Structure 1
Amino acid sequence: MLPKLLLSLLPLVVPVLSQAGAQYVDPDNGIPFWGLTEPVHGMTLGWIFPPLDSTGSLANEFIGEIVAPIDTLWAGVSPGGQMLQNLLLVAWPYDGSIVRSARYATDYVQPLAMSGPVLTDLPSTKVPKLRYTGTNSIPVNTFGVPAWVFSSIGVDTPADPQSTFQEHTDFGFFGLDWSQAHASADDYNNWAAGGTGGGTPTTTISTPTTTPTQPPVTATPYDYIVVGAGPGGLITADRLSEAGKSVLLLERGGPSTAQTGGTYGPTWAQGHNLTKFDIPGLFETMFTDSNPFWWCKDVNSFAGCLLGGGTSINGALYWIPPDSDFSPYVGWPTSWGNHGPYTAKVKSRLPSTDHPSTDGKRYLEQVSTVVSQLLNAQGYTQITINDNPDFKDHSYGYSAYDFLNGKRGGPVATYLQTAKIRKNFTLKQYVYVLNVVRNGAQITGVKTNDTSLGPDGVIPLTSKGRVILSAGSFATPRILFRSGIGPSDMINLVQNDATAGPNLPPQNQWINLPVGMNVQDNPSINLVFTHPSVDAYDNWAQVWANPRPADSSQYLKDQSGVLSQASPRMNFWRAYGASDQRTRYLQGTARPGAASVTTVYPYNASQIWTITVYLSTGITSRGRIGIDAALTARALVNPWFTDPVDKQVLIQGINDVLSTVRNVSGLTLITPDNTTTITDYVNNYDPGSLNSNHWVGSCSIGNSSSTAVVDQNTKVFNTNNLFVIDASIIPGMPMGNPHGMLMSAAEQGVAKVLNLTGGP
């Protein structure tokens, strides 16, 4: 038998009830547990709590047990009911004893060992004692739904409590009235000290009662199911619910900012209701944190799996789209040309600012001064960028953001908040959408990993309902592949997967569309300089654990100062003609610090700063996004420099940027240094470092199913009620970072969906 565990309080996320718990008494120790004997595998799970009014450490623990046949290769419990953001207890037999550990998972990957919980065996019962303090707790005075897991496959290293293991082979949930699972203080303290007895048997684990049969799971149908709570999904769900439709928004991750329930922040900000995602100055630490739970683990590129998606983890550069962003020149249908009313809607919800500190001042602006000297000599004009969105040739200005009141703004601070107050809007987090469920062209619902939302995890639509995919440029294609929509080579990979294959529709219902094709991303090159006036701000390396005291104090006081802004300080654009008669635009972003330095020069690290040079609107290089045999989303063909003209223009642009370096006293280019030419520097640049993470086009909008995935109304070709509204529909690179342009596109896209006949 496996041992009995003394556990703690932990979060509850309600899943499905398949069985009901009751009271029983363990015959070995006489403790009256509340729990369940699971009849298929013969496991018993039980808990007993101290009194409800307990204080101190006693309020954060309980006695619990997992009892299972010795041939069980490993077993586990989640008192909170789900894998994510919950304490997980796992145990297995080895060499005549029991090995066990406490785990925690932030995504659907191997749960990692926790350093906080302490397991201590109680002498008379062999019960390990665990004490764990979490941010949430089991609802000890009401009803809850714990989960159990069972595996017939052994762990990889049985002697090691932190061994890795394969996914469980079976699992289940059961209902439990936690309010009844409390003992007197005297009885609880006796058992916690190793004592026995005191329970009145109602049943025992050797002769368990038959648990009552529960009613079948029912599912609520919705007019609209929106998949993904990034900028596209949040705006879409808000506008749909505003129109009176019943809306379910599904997000595979969890909270981000404090306003959304997030709690992950630096030690120095504790007690101030601020998370990593709130504080603009922590942007650079998104890429260096030792616990980066916000990145999607099944996407082979940086993609945000949390509320807000990319808008909760990016630098928040926010450009009001120029008219060219929605022109046929970049591939938009002519019906999208009048973006003004939709851009105005975004601006009214999210005004931009190029001075985000709450005191109205700009901080750490030495880089801006140096860049202006560099560009003025090249005929550039300084502007307020978002006051002149169409002025993108030889123009520069202070970086603009959608920060609000010195904190991250974006759609989580605006659109999500208005949606949440409507009774016809439902948000579910930690729900992984596997595929849409369809019968030919008709979508009937979505299949998820959450069986509490419907039988076998399937959530249905109302009779005229619609599904809108807003999962992003990588995840939306994967959902389509898993739904039998896309190139046959991708769908065949799904068909060969033992889990995903059975969920595909029949092969005669597969829909051949160019999903994943025509992908673009800005090719980008870093140029690193030093200047004696520049404060590199320790290359942003100290802002998480040990920021400059004056700056952290100022920010905590009123969200002002250096930390109220992300690292970029200046942006500029220039137009270039080329041999193919196309006009391409170059963008520059300047910031203190540097991602990397390669030079033979000695240099002063406290003076380093960077210009990242991008190529944007007008580029012709394209790649492909797909999946591999493990169904991991990845770039199959990189989208940078597949057309050599793009590279020629970028090289010319970099040379032009550098043409006036000598005009600025004290300015030194250290990467590349004078041991290489710009042409060789670009030719030898690490392809992986060209990635700007501005992926667009994988489900491109257009007028023909031979070249596009969605039509001018964002409906997936050859389906009746499946739509896509996210960055994947953008047919060509916008002028700048796509954040603002995407929100305008979402406003226009959801308006077109609502205007279509035949919907709910």
Structure 2
Amino acid sequence: MLLRLAVAVLSFVGSVLSQATPYTDPDNGITLWGFTDPVHHVTYGYVFPPVAANANEFIGEIVAPIEAKWAGVSPIGSMLHSLLLVAWPNGNSIIRSARYATDYVQPTVMSGPILTDLPATKVNATHWKWVYRCQNCVSWSTADGTSTLPVDGFGAPAWVFSTVGVDTPSSVSSTFQEHTDFGFYGFDFSQAHVDTATYANWAAGGTGGGTPTITTTSTTTTPTQPPVSATPYDYIVVGAGPGGLIAADRLSEAGKKVLLLERGGPATWETGGTYGPAWAKGANLTKFDVPGLFETMFSDSNPFWWCKDVNVFAGCLLGGGTTINGALYWIPPYSDFATTTGWPSSWGNHQPYTDKMKARLPSTDTPSTDGKHYLEQSADVAAKLLDVQGYRRLTINDNPDQKDHVYGYSAFDFIKGKRGGPVATYFKTAKARPNFTYKQYVYVLNVVRNGAQVTGVKTNDTSLGPDGIIPLTPKGRVILSAGSFGSPRILFRSGIGPSDMVNIVKADAAAGPNLPPQAQWINLPVGYNVSDNPSINLVFTHPSIDAYENWAQVWSSPRPADSAQYLNSQSGVLAAASPRLNFWRAYSGSDGKTRWMQGTVRPGAASVDTVYSYNASQIFTITVYLSTGITSRGRIGIDAAMTARPLVTPWFKDPIDKAVLIQGINDIVANIKNVSGLTLITPDNTTTINDYVNNYDPASLNSNHWVGSNTIGTAGKAVVDENTKVFNTNNLFVVDASIIPQMPMGNPHGAIMSMAEQAVTKILGLVGGP
């Protein structure tokens, strides 16, 4: 169990974490204060005797769907030197134990706590429940002294969850794999107490109601909970990715009262993040600040930034994908907003909006603060390969409309050697305005609507409004910016989309009751028209290459000179992500349509499959994509667990797409012999390029550049109109990658940001708004 984020989270306790609230267990009448994770639907609850009693115990429970193979809690919110309680079903019984860990390894059984199962502990066909009394559990001895729960104050308990069963289900000391998910929530422990008689009754196995009390001192009082009131907003923006950040900033700049909701938490140091490498301790740098740590996003044992209810890589934190991607930042060419790529004609003049974006966030192909390029051997070798194929070198973003037979240094949106993006620019200006409110760790379930009119959003945070509902002002609007998977899911849960998806929501016990009446369902092609770049990795070796230990050491033990240089001046190798060079070429397919191939060159390799012996310190990768002009389409939807996923993958559905990509790869490797010392090792000479592509693992084709699931266009064929308003609604909009109808020319976040600039201008220009 890797609950490493407690320190990072605690700085936000009480203001942005989802909060524990009181509830009464229907099986035993016990009133607990707890939290239900909206993704896995597991409830974690606690109740304490009066503070004045100085009792070293509490009553707790875990209620989980049968899919939860095990779950656990850390009441104090950390893993190390903490009381850890875990439980799992074994047949019709619950097996549970108290655990303790002194390092981030398998926790062992803890002596001292006394666990007593209470009535209502059970296992049935759909759920399991553990109700327990935990004695010797408020204070416990550690190597450094004593740890104590803040029973008269505020804290951030942690929960853990796993879909992988324990190794020996019948044993209380069973080992188990690391949890598959975890999280925190705010908890005012001082509220979670009952009077002595009530607690004694429940602790002895009694049932029935009692009188909850607030016991912040030695005096016991009956709570007087004020009713939760909700603040209405002119605009509620759901999702703090690039689309949502730009929309929220420009709307607040226009004087509108704006609420921005993000389901995740902070990332960079400037936003309150603290999760960084040990070698950067004290430097006010997190994993997300340091560009050179990009490759570790996919290998970290504690990847809290990935959305846990999307089955592809998707970022759930401030900045969304722009906080965890390689930050390749391409200024959009004309084709990115042309009618030939599916855009309404009113979008054709993108330049004023792209200029606004560039003014806020310039690109750079020399991210190191000293203006030098580092670790460029792979770029130099690839350039030799491309030169003999008629390519020419450009500064790519100075010539955005030139994308045939061109290459240049990779361009990024890093700022002064650190991750920049919309978080460091648009968010920075928005949060300084008094009419802008930002809430994180808020999960939006659905929009609340009466027919075509949206009146607010429903969230998991009841501190923001009754039943978690946040209202709009009378002329207010909602903008969904939750991404190509998140925005469709919210629409499905709001009764908008194909009937098969909305009926899945209807069948869900928690989500179904929040749907509008079936007569108000809106049938739109939500989830269709989905594109993503198919990508194929080619791995080479060359004696000049420095593979940089394949980026394996940059988190724990980077080269000392490089880490020292970066800490001193944000310069050197670690001031850039792994890409070093990019190139494009246009191809005409057998159907007469033009498709563009893109390539990205970087030291190292994600995987190598070869019969050749090779020097691992000399490997580099060219990833070959197909972008604008691609004709294959897929579909995004949800399953019965409300997990967003591709229902139909979008790669190579049209065989001409595959044929063009194969042609492009064959052209790339055709002149290998012209570059002395260059060897292609994946694929090697045991297979052809055709067979290599045809047998490529479909899961590895994913570039995570998903667009189109809420495509813009005309009524009957699209989800949003030319102003990004959802068809058949009055005041619901989508501003994120999901409205883009065709793959952009390059990695999409530049196109997304330009799109957002234009979209918010159109929204502000519509009559009838706030």
TM value normalised by structure 1:
0.82
Which of 45, 48, 66 lines up with 1:45 in the alignment? 48
8 Å Cα contact 2:157/2:187 also seen in 1: yes
The verdict on how the C-alpha distance between 1:296 and 1:91 changes in structure 2, with shifts beyond 3 A counting, is closer
Paired residues for 1:132-211 under 5 Å: 144=154, 159-160=172-173, 176=190, 205-206=199-200, 211=222
Q: 1:335 matched to which residue of 2?
A: 346
User: Deviation per CA, 1:287-312, whole angstroms, max 9, x where unpaired?
Assistant: 11111111111101000011100000
Query: Counterpart amino acid of 1:66?
Result: F
Q: 1:384 matched to which residue of 2?
A: 395
Paired residues for 1:713-724 under 5 Å: 713-724=723-734
Query: Counterpart amino acid of 1:719?
Result: T
In the TM superposition, residue 130 of structure 1 has moved relative to its aligned partner by: 3.9
8 Å Cα contact 1:710/1:723 also seen in 2: yes
Question: Helix, strand or coil: the match of 2:446?
Answer: strand
Q: 1:258 matched to which residue of 2?
A: 269
In the TM superposition, residue 177 of structure 1 has moved relative to its aligned partner by: 8.2
Aligned equivalents of 1:385, 1:47: Cα separation in 2: 67
Question: Is 1:66 paired with 2:66?
Answer: no
In the TM superposition, residue 424 of structure 1 has moved relative to its aligned partner by: 1.1
The verdict on how the C-alpha distance between 1:648 and 1:749 changes in structure 2, with shifts beyond 3 A counting, is same
Q: 2:762 matched to which residue of 1?
A: 752
In the TM superposition, residue 599 of structure 1 has moved relative to its aligned partner by: 1.2
Which of 483, 496, 500 lines up with 1:485 in the alignment? 496
Superposition RMSD on alpha carbons, in Å? 4.1
Aligned equivalents of 1:556, 1:146: Cα separation in 2: 32
Q: 2:632 matched to which residue of 1?
A: 621
In the TM superposition, residue 37 of structure 1 has moved relative to its aligned partner by: 7.5
Percentage identity across paired residues of the two chains: 67
User: Deviation per CA, 1:714-756, whole angstroms, max 9, x where unpaired?
Assistant: 0000000100000000000000000111100011111111111
User: Deviation per CA, 1:381-412, whole angstroms, max 9, x where unpaired?
Assistant: 10100001011011100000000111101011
Aligned equivalents of 1:582, 1:740: Cα separation in 2: 25
Aligned equivalents of 2:486, 2:444: Cα separation in 1: 10
Q: 2:720 matched to which residue of 1?
A: 710
8 Å Cα contact 1:234/1:416 also seen in 2: yes
In the TM superposition, residue 9 of structure 1 has moved relative to its aligned partner by: 13
Q: 1:730 matched to which residue of 2?
A: 740
In the TM superposition, residue 159 of structure 1 has moved relative to its aligned partner by: 2.5
The verdict on how the C-alpha distance between 1:46 and 1:398 changes in structure 2, with shifts beyond 3 A counting, is farther
Q: 1:229 matched to which residue of 2?
A: 240
Aligned equivalents of 1:661, 1:410: Cα separation in 2: 37
8 Å Cα contact 2:51/2:151 also seen in 1: no
Aligned equivalents of 1:592, 1:323: Cα separation in 2: 31
User: Deviation per CA, 1:408-463, whole angstroms, max 9, x where unpaired?
Assistant: 01011111111111111111111111111111111111111111111111111111
Aligned equivalents of 2:476, 2:174: Cα separation in 1: 48
Segments of 5+ residues of structure 2 without an aligned counterpart are 1-5, 24-29, 35-43, 115-133, 160-165, 202-209, 213-221
Q: Which stretch has the larger CA shift, 557-566 or 38-47?
A: 38-47
Question: Is 1:121 paired with 2:112?
Answer: yes
The verdict on how the C-alpha distance between 1:582 and 1:67 changes in structure 2, with shifts beyond 3 A counting, is closer
The verdict on how the C-alpha distance between 1:531 and 1:131 changes in structure 2, with shifts beyond 3 A counting, is farther
The verdict on how the C-alpha distance between 1:133 and 1:688 changes in structure 2, with shifts beyond 3 A counting, is farther
Which of 553, 562, 569 lines up with 1:558 in the alignment? 569
Aligned equivalents of 1:652, 1:558: Cα separation in 2: 44
Aligned equivalents of 1:84, 1:449: Cα separation in 2: 25
Aligned equivalents of 2:454, 2:324: Cα separation in 1: 32
In the TM superposition, residue 368 of structure 1 has moved relative to its aligned partner by: 1.2
Q: 2:434 matched to which residue of 1?
A: 423
Question: Helix, strand or coil: the match of 1:478?
Answer: helix
Q: 1:363 matched to which residue of 2?
A: 374
Q: 2:751 matched to which residue of 1?
A: 741
Q: 2:14 matched to which residue of 1?
A: 13
The verdict on how the C-alpha distance between 1:43 and 1:559 changes in structure 2, with shifts beyond 3 A counting, is closer
Which of 457, 462, 468 lines up with 1:451 in the alignment? 462
The verdict on how the C-alpha distance between 1:425 and 1:68 changes in structure 2, with shifts beyond 3 A counting, is closer
In the TM superposition, residue 67 of structure 1 has moved relative to its aligned partner by: 3.8
Question: Is 1:592 paired with 2:603?
Answer: yes
Aligned equivalents of 2:326, 2:172: Cα separation in 1: 45
In the TM superposition, residue 625 of structure 1 has moved relative to its aligned partner by: 0.6
Question: Helix, strand or coil: the match of 2:380?
Answer: helix
8 Å Cα contact 1:148/1:172 also seen in 2: no
8 Å Cα contact 1:530/1:609 also seen in 2: yes
Which of 305, 309, 312 lines up with 2:320 in the alignment? 309
In the TM superposition, residue 99 of structure 1 has moved relative to its aligned partner by: 3.5
User: Between Structure 1 and Structure 2, how many residues are aligned?
Assistant: 687
In the TM superposition, residue 176 of structure 1 has moved relative to its aligned partner by: 3.2
Query: Counterpart amino acid of 2:98?
Result: R
8 Å Cα contact 1:300/1:634 also seen in 2: yes
Which of 475, 478, 491 lines up with 1:467 in the alignment? 478
Which of 594, 602, 607 lines up with 2:613 in the alignment? 602
Which of 654, 666, 675 lines up with 2:665 in the alignment? 654
In the TM superposition, residue 212 of structure 1 has moved relative to its aligned partner by: 2.7
8 Å Cα contact 2:50/2:196 also seen in 1: no
Which of 695, 701, 704 lines up with 2:706 in the alignment? 695
Question: Helix, strand or coil: the match of 1:274?
Answer: coil
Question: Helix, strand or coil: the match of 2:449?
Answer: strand
Q: 2:329 matched to which residue of 1?
A: 318
Question: Is 1:536 paired with 2:547?
Answer: yes
Q: 2:98 matched to which residue of 1?
A: 100
Question: Helix, strand or coil: the match of 1:423?
Answer: coil
8 Å Cα contact 2:726/2:733 also seen in 1: yes
In the TM superposition, residue 678 of structure 1 has moved relative to its aligned partner by: 1.1
Which of 468, 487, 501 lines up with 1:476 in the alignment? 487
The verdict on how the C-alpha distance between 1:454 and 1:643 changes in structure 2, with shifts beyond 3 A counting, is same
The verdict on how the C-alpha distance between 1:651 and 1:19 changes in structure 2, with shifts beyond 3 A counting, is closer
8 Å Cα contact 2:242/2:753 also seen in 1: yes
Query: Counterpart amino acid of 1:159?
Result: V
The verdict on how the C-alpha distance between 1:374 and 1:145 changes in structure 2, with shifts beyond 3 A counting, is closer
Question: Helix, strand or coil: the match of 1:474?
Answer: helix
In the TM superposition, residue 216 of structure 1 has moved relative to its aligned partner by: 1.8
Question: Helix, strand or coil: the match of 1:480?
Answer: helix
In the TM superposition, residue 547 of structure 1 has moved relative to its aligned partner by: 0.9
Which of 285, 297, 317 lines up with 2:296 in the alignment? 285
In the TM superposition, residue 101 of structure 1 has moved relative to its aligned partner by: 4.8
Q: 1:495 matched to which residue of 2?
A: 506
Segments of 5+ residues of structure 1 without an aligned counterpart are 1-6, 21-35, 50-61, 104-111, 150-154, 182-200
In the TM superposition, residue 227 of structure 1 has moved relative to its aligned partner by: 0.6
In the TM superposition, residue 545 of structure 1 has moved relative to its aligned partner by: 1.1
User: Deviation per CA, 1:3-50, whole angstroms, max 9, x where unpaired?
Assistant: xxxx99983235668679xxxxxxxxxxxxxxx98599997415869x
The verdict on how the C-alpha distance between 1:365 and 1:10 changes in structure 2, with shifts beyond 3 A counting, is closer
Query: Counterpart amino acid of 1:554?
Result: Q
In the TM superposition, residue 79 of structure 1 has moved relative to its aligned partner by: 6.8
Aligned equivalents of 1:498, 1:613: Cα separation in 2: 44
Question: Is 1:643 paired with 2:644?
Answer: no
Aligned equivalents of 1:570, 1:148: Cα separation in 2: 43
Query: Counterpart amino acid of 2:696?
Result: Y
8 Å Cα contact 1:697/1:727 also seen in 2: yes
The verdict on how the C-alpha distance between 1:130 and 1:93 changes in structure 2, with shifts beyond 3 A counting, is farther
In the TM superposition, residue 100 of structure 1 has moved relative to its aligned partner by: 3.3
Query: Counterpart amino acid of 1:275?
Result: T
8 Å Cα contact 1:578/1:649 also seen in 2: yes
Query: Counterpart amino acid of 1:100?
Result: A
Aligned equivalents of 1:372, 1:174: Cα separation in 2: 60
The verdict on how the C-alpha distance between 1:668 and 1:344 changes in structure 2, with shifts beyond 3 A counting, is same
The verdict on how the C-alpha distance between 1:538 and 1:66 changes in structure 2, with shifts beyond 3 A counting, is same
